[in-house]
Amino acid sequence: MLEGIVDVLTTNWDNCIERGSSDERPSAVVTSQDLSNVTPPSVLKIHGCATQPQSLLVTSNHLAAPPQWVIDETRHRLGATTVAFVGIGDIAGYVKLRIEEALHDVGVIDNIRVVSPGIVSGWASSQWAGLVPDLGAGQRIAATADDFLEQLGRAYVLGVFGDIALEFSDHPKFLAAVKNAQNSITASDALKVVVWARRAAVTPHAGVSVFDSESMTTMLCALGVLLPDGFAVEASGAVRTPEAYWQVLVSSGRTSASRMQREAQNRLSAARTEGREVPKYLVAGGIGWGLGTTLPSDILNEGRGDDVLDGPLNLMPEILRAEEVLA
């Protein structure tokens, strides 16, 4: 969701989706005012949110006459995008009402997908068969919610790698590097890959893809060149081999070189404070490298970093730029 892959509409009142991401928290749309003020991506909570009791649609009268923004947004999604109903094998009455209203107003079902383990084998007796009897066999996906979302995320990751491979189709060295990186990264599940990418980003923006960015493309090529025998991604944004441990940092948007350096220094400081393993830093992107954007750590040039137990010289990260790896 934070990568901008999907929008979420939910009839649930809880805030589990919002709390599911510890670093970046999507906003919830609960009122028409939220719809105007909140920057996507957001969780559209069409029956209200438990954190705002006055917004809850609870009674039959509430559900029969929802706010206009709920009707408009449901119609818009069903009419203009591909909509997957996930985890709704048995349709509660109040959910069925929303779907019936929207389908009646839109009149199109070609963009609907229904995801449920028994939706294929049990189609004839399912509630969906009565609700959308003309739903095609290809629109019924027999999968659990977890399996479907993993497949969706993996398709996104592989799609990005496919686009990069096309860009480098006439550059054998970089194409081979991308393939190396792809083999290593796709050994992990899609959720871990997306979390890895976003935690590698410096100042990411919700709804703007990190994995499909120019800086990440540079990083993926550099990883394939630097670590040709493979590596494992970690949720912290790091990569590991038996011999090396690298923290990956990629710029997000217009990020200065000094900001990238500060991020590496901040993460190094946190690792030392928490007693964690100290990585090297592989950095992609950043504007202004080599322009003297930071002061030297030792202006008298009298110190040696390996002689210092504490202080500024002990907090200088070892940085390698991805662009240098590819030069």
**Separation in Å, CA 279 to CA 1, 165, 241:** 29, 29, 12
d(CA 98, CA 116): 19
Mean pLDDT (the chain, rounded): 87
CA dihedral angle for residue 29, residue 30, residue 33, residue 39, rounded to 10 degrees: -10
Rounded CA separation 212/265 (Å): 26
292 against 80, higher pLDDT: 80
Q: What is the reported pLDDT for 25?
A: 78
Q: What's the pLDDT at 49?
A: 93
Lowest mean pLDDT, pick from 35-39, 43-47, 88-92, 307-311: 307-311
Is 269 within 8 Å of 224 (Cβ atoms)?
Answer: no
At 19, phi and psi to the nearest 5?
-85, -5
Position 187 confidence tier, pLDDT thresholds 50, 70, 90: very high
Model confidence at 108, pLDDT cuts 50, 70, 90, reads: confident
What is the rounded average pLDDT of the residues 6-28? 82
104-107 CB contacts, 8 Å cutoff, 24+ apart: 105/75, 106/75, 106/78, 106/79
User: Which of 15-19, 179-183, 217-221 is predicted least confidently?
Assistant: 15-19
Question: Does position 144 have pLDDT exceeding 50, yes or no?
Answer: yes
The pLDDT value given to residue 293? 45
Highest mean pLDDT among 57-61, 91-95, 294-298, 318-322: 318-322
pLDDT given for residue 75 in this prediction: 83
Report the pLDDT averaged over residues 66-82: 85
